[in-house]
Structure 1
Amino acid sequence: MKALNSVCVYCGSSSRVAAVHKEAAHMLGDGLARRGIQLVYGGGRVGLMGIAADAALAAGGQVVGIIPEHIQSAEIEHTGLTELHVVDSMHTRKRMMVDRADAFVVLPGGLGTLDEAFEILTWKQLGLHDKPVVIADVDGYWRPLLGLIEHTVAQGFTQPAHRALYTVVDDVDDVFAALAYEPEPTLKIPTQKL
């Protein structure tokens, strides 16, 4: 089994959300830190992003934030992180987050979270990485999205095998078991000359 040293968390920056989502972000940040796993995220101090980072820091964990200059200039960056990287663009941010992570967890969020989640799934589909992607369907939040993905499969736009690009769990407790998943090695059968 590969060592899991860092996890990139995609989640919302809104604080106007249900308490169950705030609790999930806290549990994930705390759980990562207690397992000695570094949290990599978008560098914000607000919403679920800030909650997850604060929980990890409070539990003695390491937190790496990566934030673009145009967002940092709005003064929403978290200034108490282990590392804060200010980068020139969203593209640089997303690439650096991928490079720094051994796996990805998608918590509830909005358009930015959807963008990051679909990008990381597309990159995996294209073979640009083979890292675990876990969608935490907290309180059924991602059910409509998962239904949309099934619709794309039913309509022939997504291959049924692409369901294996990600794992869906119902709560944060199940995230850690899902992250331990190792894909089966491909069995190569030697060809014989007749």
Structure 2
Amino acid sequence: MQKIKKVCVYCASSDKIDSKYFEATKTLAKALTKNNTTVVYGGGARGLMGQLADTVLEEKGRIIGIMPHFMKEVEFHHKDVNEFIFTADMHERKKQFMVGVDALITLPGGCGTFEELMEAITLKRLGIFTKPIVILNLDGYYDDLLNMLEKAISENFLADAHRDIWTVFTDPSKVLEAIHNSKPWSNDAIKFAQV
């Protein structure tokens, strides 16, 4: 089984969400640090981003924040994360999230998280990104999005094969298992990107 050395985690910056999401993030962060997996994330200090960073740091793991300069200027960045990449804009940030990672992990989040996930799915469909994309569907949080993707498949906006782009899991402690259970993907995917 291939070692998962580095992952990117997409997640929320909101502090006003249910405590179950913070607990799930903590569990997932512990599973990653126990595996000595480096975590890349959006660099924030609040919400699930803050919980992710705090837990990785408490567990003596390695975490890298990636954030546009303008966000640092309004003090969104986590002051205890000592490895940062500051980018010119949000587009460059999203590119950097994917550099050298073995997987992308999506936790519950808002429009920024949705947008990052959908761009990753699009890039994987085109064979530009080929690593596992795993989605933590905690208590059905992503049911509506997953149903929308199924609708896109059933109405021929996506092909049946595109279902293998993402893997859904519900137990944050099993994040590594979800990554390993993801189906292999090739950069030849461009050949069947068109439906």
TM-score of the superposed pair, with normalisation by structure 2: 0.91
Query: Structure 1: any 5+ residue segments left out of the alignment?
Result: 187-194
Pair 1:83 & 2:89 matched: no
Q: Which runs of 4+ in 1 moved over 3 A?
A: 181-186
Contact 2:165 2:185 in 1 (8 A): no
Query: Structure 2: any 5+ residue segments left out of the alignment?
Result: 187-195
Q: What SS does the corresponding residue of 1:108 show, helix, strand or coil?
A: coil
Q: Which residue is equivalent to 2:70?
A: 70
Q: Which residue is equivalent to 1:40?
A: 40
Pair 1:150 & 2:146 matched: no
Q: Which residue is equivalent to 1:191?
A: none
The Cα of 1:18 is off from its aligned counterpart by 0.8
Q: What SS does the corresponding residue of 2:181 show, helix, strand or coil?
A: coil
TM-score of the superposed pair, with normalisation by structure 1: 0.91
User: What is the CA deviation profile of residues 142-178 of structure 1, one whole-angstrom value per residue up to 9, with x for unaligned ones?
Assistant: 0111111111111111111101001001120222101
Q: Which residue is equivalent to 2:16?
A: 16
Residues 19, 185 of structure 1: CA spacing in aligned structure 2 closer, same or farther, 3 A cutoff?
Answer: closer
Residues 184, 148 of structure 1: CA spacing in aligned structure 2 closer, same or farther, 3 A cutoff?
Answer: closer
Counterpart Cα distance in 2 of 1:185 and 1:104: 14
Q: What SS does the corresponding residue of 1:67 show, helix, strand or coil?
A: strand
Counterpart Cα distance in 2 of 1:69 and 1:99: 19
Q: Which residue is equivalent to 1:133?
A: 133
Contact 2:31 2:175 in 1 (8 A): no
Residues 170, 182 of structure 1: CA spacing in aligned structure 2 closer, same or farther, 3 A cutoff?
Answer: closer
Letter of the 1:89 counterpart? D
Counterpart Cα distance in 1 of 2:111 and 2:184: 33
Contact 2:167 2:182 in 1 (8 A): no
| Higher radius of gyration, 1 or 2 | 1
The Cα of 1:116 is off from its aligned counterpart by 0.4
Higher mean C-alpha deviation, range 38-47 or range 93-102: 93-102
Counterpart Cα distance in 2 of 1:139 and 1:114: 17
Letter of the 1:53 counterpart? A
Contact 2:166 2:182 in 1 (8 A): no
Q: What SS does the corresponding residue of 2:98 show, helix, strand or coil?
A: helix
Contact 2:164 2:182 in 1 (8 A): no
The number of residue pairs the alignment matches comes to 186
What's the Cα RMSD here? 1.5
Q: Which residue is equivalent to 2:61?
A: 61
The Cα of 1:33 is off from its aligned counterpart by 0.9
The Cα of 1:3 is off from its aligned counterpart by 2.8
User: What is the CA deviation profile of residues 102-145 of structure 1, one whole-angstrom value per residue up to 9, with x for unaligned ones?
Assistant: 10100000000000001111111100121011000011100111
Contact 1:30 1:52 in 2 (8 A): no
Counterpart Cα distance in 2 of 1:6 and 1:112: 21
Counterpart Cα distance in 2 of 1:185 and 1:123: 12
The Cα of 1:87 is off from its aligned counterpart by 1.1
Counterpart Cα distance in 2 of 1:12 and 1:61: 20
